[in-house]
Structure 1
Amino acid sequence: MTSGAGSRGSSGPGWFSGTELLLAVVLLVFTALAWLLTHSLAAPGMRLGILTGTRPMASSGFEWTRFGFFLLTWLIMMTAMMLPGITPFTIGMSRLLRVRRAGTGSVTILVLGYLLAWLLTGLAAYTCLRVFDALAMAGSATAARSGAAVLVLAGLFQFTPLKQWCLVHCRSPMALLMRHGQRAVRSRRGALLVGCGHGAYCIGCCWALMVVLLAAGMMSLVWMAGVTAVITVEKVLPYGRQASYAIGALLIGVGLVLLVLPGLVGTVA
């Protein structure tokens, strides 16, 4: 009787309990809502970038209202793009927390920690976007070649040891779970730090692709979906390292073409 009750109360390695399936559904629902909210918040100018032929209106100085709106939209975008990728990690953590009888709120804190890590990159992303705005005002050829340089640099980053090191951790979140799971079990502060740690690996892996997104069109659902697909291929599908190299080669190739023929940017846009 005891073993039967235990088997009903726990999940094997290849099975998900009802609670874990519900958690996965909740995360995916939040993802869908974030995509819809991104679409509703996106102004026409925010769907374009220096790789898509935009000429934004100049703005002087640092505007807190604009920065606050950017941070809000950045957080929503990161929720839309990154939440599906951490679903297996979150389910694994919820299983560990349940076995150790830790507070159920720790799972929420874990996800918030992950998103907090991405939110903290918002200042760098905003600065990058303002630089791109200035380049766009300098002329279409300058903007196009700057966007091409972004593609080349992002492609080169795909071949660096830092990229591959972070990618290994992103592809194996259970390694992080086994190494730091006890910290999350002990306290909600620990869960927050574990979530931030996993977010830091993802930032190290994906930051160059995010710069490409800013150059292509920050809130364009098409470009968001494209970058999300690239990130998913790297993190989930087999042969992640080879996929990363192929993506890098493609970025470098397109970037070199645009450096030679910057007029293609205006044609495509």
Structure 2
Amino acid sequence: MKALTRLLPGHGTLWLMFFGSVLAAWALLLATHMPVAAPHPAGDFGLAYLISLCTQSVADAGFGSAVAMWSLMSLAMMAPTAFPAFKTYSDMTCTEAASGTSLAVLVAGYLLVWIGFAVPAAFVQVQLAELHLLDAVGRSTSGTFSALLLLLAGAYQFSRLKNACLSACQNPMTFFFSHWQPGNLGALRLGLRLGAVCLGCCWALMLLAFVAGTMNLAFMALAMLLMTLEKLPQIGDRISAPLGVFLIISGTVVGVLSLIELSNGGI
């Protein structure tokens, strides 16, 4: 606790809760890769039940389980990417502009947007599974579908909306000054706006989970790292375009290979 206070002066308890929640989300995602017997629906609703919601295969998972999994993914992957913005707001609590409570409200507003994203993402997952376009670990079974997602994500890297959202994420101080609203209600609105900007920046990359597998921890960790680096002003501008080029090339290669497979009579 003292080390955390030295590294992040002020609101040590809040930061401990923040990082603890992120680590807990990663721990639960890791637990989904371990065999766990699901408890009776009317029985234990503790940790074992929560883990059981996400240990089913994607093909067998219902909408509720899918929402739980995507919510955990959002917390584990997206909360760390917004830490520079949260830290910037935290520094403002040294003045009378903000407070520790408003900081907590800001973070809650941000996470609310990504939990909201989990609902349509889960719906898409369920529909794709019913169409047999996803395997047991949530990975696309269609080369054409994978190619389209890769090309979409690559092209979006060069879009005006992506650039605008990324610029806001890279300059949180400017973002807060431009949209400042005082009080806890203002902090909630700022958090929601920050979450929306982050969603506008990263939604296409998040959908690549359907290519790598929605239960693929390696993809989650790599995507979190890339999205975090992309939001750092001195690094993000150097990797955003190359990442887009890489995704477009990957999508093209996957698409060509899929066409060749189809022409040869593959499924």
TM-score by length of 1: 0.75
Larger RCO, structures 1/2 (Cα 8 Å, 6+ apart): 1
Residues 54-108 of structure 1: CA deviation (Å, up to 9, x unaligned): xx35x8xxxxxx3223222222211111122222222222332342175532211
Give the aligned partner of residue 31 of structure 1.
22
Give the aligned partner of residue 52 of structure 1.
none
Instruction: Identify which of 124, 130, 137 aligns with 2:126.
Output: 130
Q: How far apart, CA to CA, are the structure 2 residues paired with 1:246 and 1:127? A: 31
Say if 1:254 and 1:105 are closer, same or farther in 2 by CA, change over 3 A. Answer: same
Give the aligned partner of residue 208 of structure 1.
204
Q: How many angstroms does 1:159 deviate by? A: 0.9
Say if 1:237 and 1:44 are closer, same or farther in 2 by CA, change over 3 A. Answer: farther
Say if 1:250 and 1:45 are closer, same or farther in 2 by CA, change over 3 A. Answer: farther
SS at 1:251's partner residue? Answer: helix
Q: How far apart, CA to CA, are the structure 1 residues paired with 2:8 and 2:251? A: 46
Q: How many angstroms does 1:133 deviate by? A: 2.0
Give the aligned partner of residue 146 of structure 2.
147
Question: Is 1:43 equivalent to 2:55 in the alignment?
Answer: yes
Give the aligned partner of residue 174 of structure 1.
173
The percentage of counterpart residues that share the same residue type is: 32
Instruction: Identify which of 190, 195, 198 aligns with 2:194.
Output: 198
Q: How far apart, CA to CA, are the structure 1 residues paired with 2:84 and 2:12? A: 11
**Aligned residue pair count:** 231
Q: How far apart, CA to CA, are the structure 1 residues paired with 2:10 and 2:140? A: 54
Q: How many angstroms does 1:239 deviate by? A: 4.3
TM-score by length of 2: 0.76
Q: How many angstroms does 1:222 deviate by? A: 0.9
Task: Pick the structure with more helix per residue.
Answer: 1
Unaligned runs of 5+ in 1: 1-14, 47-55, 60-65, 265-269
